Structure 1
Amino acid sequence: MFQLSLPTKRDRVPTGPDWLHEVKYDGYRLQVIRKGDRVRLITKGGADYTKRFPWIVEVARKLRQ
C-alpha cells in the first residue's frame, strides 16, 4: 500500500504537465488493493470498506493487473 495524498483546497485548478489533479466531490476516498482475485477497499485511516461496496470489488476483479 502507498501513502494517499490528501486533498488541498485551491481557488483554481493547477495547470501544466507537472500537475495531476482530480475534483474532490463529497463522498469517500478509497484505495483499491488487489492481489490476484483478492480485492480490498481501504480508507486513508486504514478502515476496511470492502463489504460496503461489493460492486467496486467486482469491477476491480475484472480489471487487468
Structure 2
Amino acid sequence: MDIMKPIASEDIPIGKEWTYEVKYDGFRCTIHWTAESIRLISKNNKDLTANFPEMIAACQDLQTKIIPSLPLVLDGELCVLNNSFQANFGWIQKRGRLKNTGTIEKAAIQRPATYMAFDLLQEKGSPLFERKS
C-alpha cells in the first residue's frame, strides 16, 4: 500500500497542485470495505477492527448508500477528537491497547473514535489513478 509520507521543507509550497489539511494525531489506517466485511488495517498491517466497533457500526449505517461503490479502500486517520480541529493522541493509544470486549465497548461510548478519510484508494475493487500524491 502506498501511503503518503510528510516531506520536510523550510518553504511553504505554493500552487494549485498543493492542498493543506489539518494534522490529526491518531492511527493511520485503511478501511477495507466489502459487502461482507469492514476491516480497519494499520499502516503496520495490524488489524484494528475489534478495538473500534463504533467505526464498523458507522460504516454499516452508511452501507446501503454506498453499495454501488463496494468494494472500496479508504486511507485516513483514526482518532479520538477533543474538538473539530484537535485529536487526543493519548486516548487513541489507550483504545488501541484495550483487549477486553466490555472495556472496548464502554470506551467506544465514552470517547468514540472518528475516521478522517484522506483518500479513496480503490472503488468497485479497482485502484484509482487520479488521487492526491
TM-score by length of 2: 0.39
The equivalent residue for 2:101 is none
Residue aligned with 2:27, SS: coil
> 1:27: which partner in 2?
26
1:14-53 matches, cutoff 5 A: 14-53=13-52
Q: Please, which runs of 5 or more residues in structure 2 have no aligned partner? A: 70-133
Moved more, 28-37 or 16-25: 16-25
Structure with the higher helix share, 1 or 2: 2
Cα distance in 2, alignment partners of residues 42 and 56 from structure 1? 12
Following superposition, which runs of at least 4 residues in structure 1 exceed 6 angstroms of deviation?
Answer: none
Bigger radius of gyration: 2
CA contact (8 A) 1:29 1:43 kept: yes
SS of alignment partner, residue 50 of structure 2: helix
Higher relative contact order (CA 8 A, sep 6+): 2
Q: Distance in 2 between matches of 1:50 and 1:59?
A: 12
SS in 1 for 2:57: helix
**In structure 2, do the counterparts of structure 1 residues 48 and 19 end up closer, same or farther at CA, with 3 Å as the change threshold?**
same
Q: CA deviation at 1:7?
A: 3.4
* TM-score (norm: length of structure 1): 0.69
CA contact (8 A) 1:7 1:24 kept: no
Unaligned runs of 5+ in 1: none
CA RMSD of aligned residues (A): 2.4
Q: C-alpha distance in 2, partners of 1:10/1:57?
A: 37
